[in-house]
Amino acid sequence: MTESTTPVPDRVRILGPEEIRRALVRIAHEILESGHGADDLVLLGIPHRGVPLAERLAAQILAAEGIDRPVEDLAGSLDVTMYRDDLRQHPTRAPSPTRIPRGGIDGRTVVLVDDVLFSGRTVRAALDALGAIGRPSAVRLAVLVDRGHRELPIRADHVGKNLPTSRGERVHVELAETDGEDAVVLARPAGEEETR
């Protein structure tokens, strides 16, 4: 056997389960404090990890408001596959289901939820997908991690952690629902020095 010459990335854990929990509690309270009560609110997660994050935020909001309703009444998912601008480069993407809570989105405040905000292109695709479904009164964006490097004029209204990165670094969000544990990990190509 020959040894691999591919460099192995350095992995640094940025957030653990408790830090993620606290960030989501804070974001849920920020959403409520911005004047959006649970009755007028829809949280739509962008697959894949945005969906469980939206469900966790919905549970926090319902608990904070003292409302005994299923999370599905407040949280859903929004598939953006067919609205992406990179389909020619990556044509084989499996669409995920779009689930809109009862009452729809028309005239309501929609909070798009994603795990990592990077170039802004996924959020642009989400805005296009949302426009094909209905007309909300307002759209907000909540992300667990904002890593910078925007290519479009998009910013998050609610951020769990601002994490400046280099373009070569990767941010991996791991959630109990999809990966068995909660963590935010920064993967740095082997040999790359930390410049922050």
C-alpha–C-alpha distance, residues 170 and 145, integer Å: 12
Cα–Cα nearest to 118, from 89, 94, 154, 83 = 154
Q: Where are the alpha helices (DSSP H) in 4-148?
A: 17-33, 50-65, 121-133
CATH of domain 17-86+94-166: 3.40.50.2020
- Tell whether the model's pLDDT for residue 66 goes beyond 50: yes
Q: Give exposure, 132-154, as e/b (b: 16+ Cβ within 10 Å).
A: eeeebeebbbbbbbbbeeeeeeb
Residue 92: DSSP 8-state: -
Q: Average of pLDDT values for 29-42?
A: 89
- The domain spans of the chain are 17-86+94-166
Q: Beta partners for 183?
A: 174
Summarize pLDDT for 15-30 with one digit per residue, the tens: 999 999 999 999 999 9
Kindly tell me if the per-residue pLDDT of 89 is higher than 80. no
pLDDT at residue 74 in the model: 96
Classified as helix, coil or strand, 177 is: helix
Backbone angles phi, psi at 119, to 5 degrees: -75, -25
Q: Which residues pair with 142 in a beta bridge?
A: 113, 158
Q: Is the pLDDT of residue 2 over 60?
A: no
- The structure's pTM equals 0.90
Distance in angstroms (rounded) separating the CA atoms of residues 145 and 162: 6
Would you state the structure tokens that stand for residue 77, as one six-digit string?
A: 């998912």
Q: Residue 161: what are its φ and ψ, rounded to 5°?
A: -150, 125
Q: What percent of the chain has pLDDT over 70?
A: 88
